[in-house]
Amino acid sequence: MAAEGETLTATSYIKHHLQNLTFGQLPAGYERADGTVLEQSMWTLAHSSKEAQEMGFWAFHVDTLCWSAGLGILFLWLFRKAAVSATSDVPGPLQNFVETIVEFVDNSVKESFHGKNDVIAPLSLTIFVWIFLMNLMDLVPVDWVPFLFSVLGVEYMKIVPTTDVNATFGLSLSVFFLIIFYSIKVKGVGGFVGELTLQPFGKKFIPFNFLLESVGLLAKPISLSLRLFGNLYAGELIFILIALLPFYAQWMLSVPWAIFHILVITLQAFIFMMLTIVYLSMAHEDH
């Protein structure tokens, strides 16, 4: 799975598994990894990590987008199937599973959210299940899917969307925009601005108050995204390092780590959901 002409070493193996399948634009005159020179700028898939870097900010991580969308569709399909086939008689395994998750999320919202908003519970359910499913992909053996796609001619394939900081930051930005939206909706523009400028030290220290409150506000999406990304990226990296060991050592280490990692992926989905609920509850509080 190394690039063409590249000797597969431990370093190249790790870099390969941490590289996203990137689609972007390369400039005219660019010499590609296979030695060809582009006569004009072109949108294409990157054939190396260097090409992915050259594509710049407007490049897309195709694997992150596709796996995220696919897992989101899986979530919607499973829960819709449970809702359509729901019965008041003896429920099936799927209905039991879905009802347990819905009840768990509903109780979490009731305990932590002190406003009145019909969006919060469905939003929290979506966040918890979707992030859990994306995290769960980290338990798939690291070589299986990349090998399958390499047979199909696709050089790179990362299947854990939450190990891509772009995905986690996108999720946290969505929550951040909701915080701003509901803060202004509940408190008004004046109330929101007053909250940023008059707390915690009153009118005499407006610049200092604004600095403190702005840092606290901007820290919310950053902490949300980096916490999720850091934990899942570290977990994936450990799986990759274990895959470099002899076969017998892989089984001795990967199975205990996978069992422990089940707790990590569940906890990270729960933390993201709970912080979202708490932040939105704070946005609904009018002092």
CB of 163 closer than 8 Å to CB of 255: no
- pLDDT class of 5 with cuts at 50, 70, 90: very low
| pLDDT given for residue 282 in this prediction | 93
Nearest Cα neighbor of 264 from 106, 139, 126 is 139
The per-residue pLDDT for range 222-264, each reduced to its tens digit, is 999 999 999 999 999 999 999 999 988 998 999 999 999 999 9
For the chain, give every domain's residue range.
Answer: 1-58, 62-283
| CB atoms near residue 64 (< 10 Å) | 24
Mean pLDDT of the region 109-116: 92
The number of CA neighbours under 13 Å toward the Cβ of 65 is 7
Checking if the pLDDT of 2 tops 60, the result is no
Catalytic residue status for 41: no
Amino acid identity, position 177: F
Annotated catalytic residue, options 49, 68, 172, 231: 231
C-alpha to C-alpha distance for 226 and 169, rounded to whole angstroms: 8
What angle do the packed helices 165-197 and 247-283 form, to 10 degrees?
Answer: 30
Region of 153 on the Ramachandran plot (φ > 0 left; ψ -120 to 50 alpha; else beta): left
Annotated catalytic residue, options 85, 223, 254, 281: 223
Residue 194 token pair: 């007053």
More confident residue, 67 or 197: 67
CB of 6 closer than 8 Å to CB of 16: no
| pLDDT given for residue 286 in this prediction | 72
CB of 52 closer than 8 Å to CB of 32: no
Contacts of 287 (CB under 8 A, 6+ apart): 195
| pLDDT given for residue 287 in this prediction | 62
Catalytic residue status for 227: yes
| pLDDT given for residue 271 in this prediction | 97
The per-residue pLDDT for range 156-181, each reduced to its tens digit, is 999 999 999 999 999 999 999 999 99
- pLDDT class of 52 with cuts at 50, 70, 90: very high
Q: What is the model's pTM?
A: 0.93
Annotated catalytic residue, options 12, 112, 174, 227: 227
Query: Across the chain, what does the average pLDDT equal?
Result: 92
C-alpha to C-alpha distance for 23 and 200, rounded to whole angstroms: 47
C-alpha to C-alpha distance for 135 and 228, rounded to whole angstroms: 9
The per-residue pLDDT for range 73-97, each reduced to its tens digit, is 999 999 999 999 998 888 899 999 9
User: How far is the first Cα of the chain from the last one, in angstroms, to the nearest whole number?
Assistant: 58
Catalytic residue status for 135: no
